[in-house]
Structure 1
Amino acid sequence: MKWEQLRTDSISQWIIIHLRYLVGSAFFPSGLIKLMGDRFTRISTDHPIGYFFEALYQSGFYWNFLGLAQVTAGILLMTQRFATLGALMFLAILSNIWLITLSLSFAGTWIITSLMMIAVMILVIWDKHKLLPLFNYNKAIMVKEYPDPDSRWGVAGVVYSISFIALFMLNPVKGEAYEKWLSILIALIIAATFIISNYQAYKNRKLAVNP
């Protein structure tokens, strides 16, 4: 399949949209932990990994800044409209994380970060037409325009972002009873958003195929 066909194919677009959701949400847990000023791990400082994270934690504001950057990148990806900027931010942050997991020999974690690197590279390549002018300075270049995802996907991304952040703030395991019920409600909202947005996309696709 040629690039033009791949870039305009509705199935490919659907995969990219949900890959953005998946990759974006992956940064919320670790990012929010840092942003709230909590420790990311309880590994002893006698271990190189524990020592490394404790040093980052003791850096104070820098620890919070790392969390803010991760959460921001995740939200930008979720919005779809600003997904290119989110993907570039994600690539910059994840490259550091990936190299850290390789350097400190994280058991198994490097596999996860490697898969995330592949995913974010796919997202960057998907929007390569937006980046071409950066590499063709002072040269005339025709930039191919592709339609952005429908606004429903952006609305769904906002709902997902708020819901994931709210779930993190709650503690349904050790918290109060109302937190458990709120967690269930939020989980239902996430499921309903997924079903409704995808049903609408499926219905619109059928109408486009069979006008």
Structure 2
Amino acid sequence: MGFLPSGFVKVNGERFTDLAVCHPMGHYLEALHRTGYYYTSIGIMQMTAAIFLLIPRTATLGAVIYFPIILNILVLSWAVRFEGSFLSAPLIVLANLYLLCWDYHKLKFIFPWEQRDVYLN
């Protein structure tokens, strides 16, 4: 649910935060906001992941879409030493990894180490 409001703000073209541009995270988010369509596309993907995660039938796809987004937030938070998500981002990444592991049986066909029975005639 947390990605719905943040994605909606981006789709509407509004700034995500009121952090000053002298703060490293504020500077990054201001630059991201100025990219235009890229900022909007991130918002669309955040909202798509959130909606997919809320629907049981599409939750696996939602977790797959959500993972690179939240991993990027984690790396960015650590890189700029942003205290606002210093604890929450790693916990959300762990929760997402749990979801991906829970649905491993649905995803294992994409991994090269999984053996497939192939019968050639």
Cross-structure match for 1:41? 17
Counterpart residue number, 1:86: 62
Note if 1:52 corresponds to 2:28: yes
CA distance in 2, matches of 1:108, 1:116: 13
TM-score by length of 1: 0.53
CA distance in 2 between partners of 1:139 and 1:31 (Å): 39
What is the aligned partner in structure 2 of residue 115 from structure 1? 91
1:31 equivalent in structure 2:
7
In structure 1, the residue matched to 2:79 is: 103
Q: Secondary structure at the match of 1:44?
A: coil
- Pairs aligned (count): 117
Partner deviation per Cα, 1:160-203 (whole Å, 9 max, x = no partner): xxxxxxxxxxxxxxxxxxxxxxxxxxxxxxxxxxxxxxxxxxxx
In the aligned structure 1, how far is the partner of 2:84 from the partner of 2:18?
Answer: 18
* 2:117 paired with 1:140: yes
- Deviation at residue 44 of structure 1 after TM alignment: 1.5
CA drift of 1:41 comes to 1.1
CA RMSD of aligned residues (A): 1.5
Q: Work out which of the two has the higher radius of gyration on C-alpha atoms and give 1 or 2.
A: 1
Question: What CA deviation, in whole Å up to 9, does each residue of 1:122-144 have, x standing for no partner?
Answer: 10000000111112567229xxx
Residue 53 of structure 1 aligns with an amino acid whose one-letter code is: L
1:49 Cα deviation (Å)?
1.3
Separation in structure 2 between the aligned mates of residue 48 and residue 108 of structure 1, nearest angstrom: 12
Unaligned runs of 5+ in 1: 1-24, 142-211
Amino acid at match of 1:140: D
